[in-house]
Amino acid sequence: MSRIGKQPIPIPTGIKVEIQGTHVTVLGGKGTLERDIRPEIDVNEQDNMLICTPKGTSKKVMALWGMTRSLINNMIVGVHQGFAKKLMVEGVGYRANINAQTLTLNVGYSNGVDFILPEGITATVDKDNSINIQGIDKELVGLTAAQIRDIRKPEPYKGKGIRYFDEHIVRKVGKAGGKK
């Protein structure tokens, strides 16, 4: 039995959920999200709650049960509150600028790297060189943050690069040969 799948999903006021077979649409104040769910899972609305029930007891169906519940819950939270990730740009001369939907990163390469933000994602750059990424789709926010981080991953000696705000970089000592 899935501990996550059996939990009901509360629907906040102002959020409208439409279920048509295996297609789920969630409308809220921040936008609309749609997703096709697996046919092994049945989703029903009861008393401002969504209930996911499996159509079988195999191991695969039980895994899909919890995943489907989490995906639908993320859709509801996304259109109600939204999701955000924060990245830090660290290094001497490392800068980030945003212009419309293009994020320009100067992170030690000979030319700046232009990253075009996907549709549905907004970003802001603070004075302390932190990048705030916001959106209603949790998967897209996380994927965009990971792609920006991949432009210059933090290195273990000085910690230069782009890292998540809450990420801890394990530092290495460096060379000890010159200390004889």
**Domain range list for the chain:** 9-80, 83-164
**Residue 122 in contact with residue 134, Cβ under 8 Å?**
yes
Q: The domain 9-80 belongs to what CATH superfamily?
A: Ribosomal protein L6 (3.90.930.12)
Burial (CB < 10 A; 0-12, 13-18, 19+), residue 78, is buried
Write the pLDDT tens digit of every residue in 79-127. 999 999 999 999 999 999 999 999 999 999 999 999 999 999 999 999 9
Residue 174 pLDDT > 90: no
Residue 175 pLDDT > 70: yes
| Percentage of the chain modeled with pLDDT above 70 | 97
pLDDT band at 1 (very low <50, low <70, confident <90, very high): low
Do domains 9-80 and 83-164 share one topology? The answer is yes
Q: By three-state DSSP, how is residue 87 classified?
A: strand
Site of tokens 């895994």: 63
Residue 178 pLDDT > 70: no
Write the pLDDT tens digit of every residue in 28-53. 999 999 999 999 999 999 999 999 99
CATH 3.30.2020.10 holds for 83-164: no
Distance CA 54, CA 114 (A): 45
Residues 6+ apart with CB under 8 A from 17: 11, 24, 25, 26, 27, 45, 50, 76
Residue 3 pLDDT > 90: no
Greatest Cα pair distance in the chain: 74
pTM of the model: 0.88
pLDDT band at 14 (very low <50, low <70, confident <90, very high): very high
**Residue 141 in contact with residue 156, Cβ under 8 Å?**
no
Burial (CB < 10 A; 0-12, 13-18, 19+), residue 36, is exposed
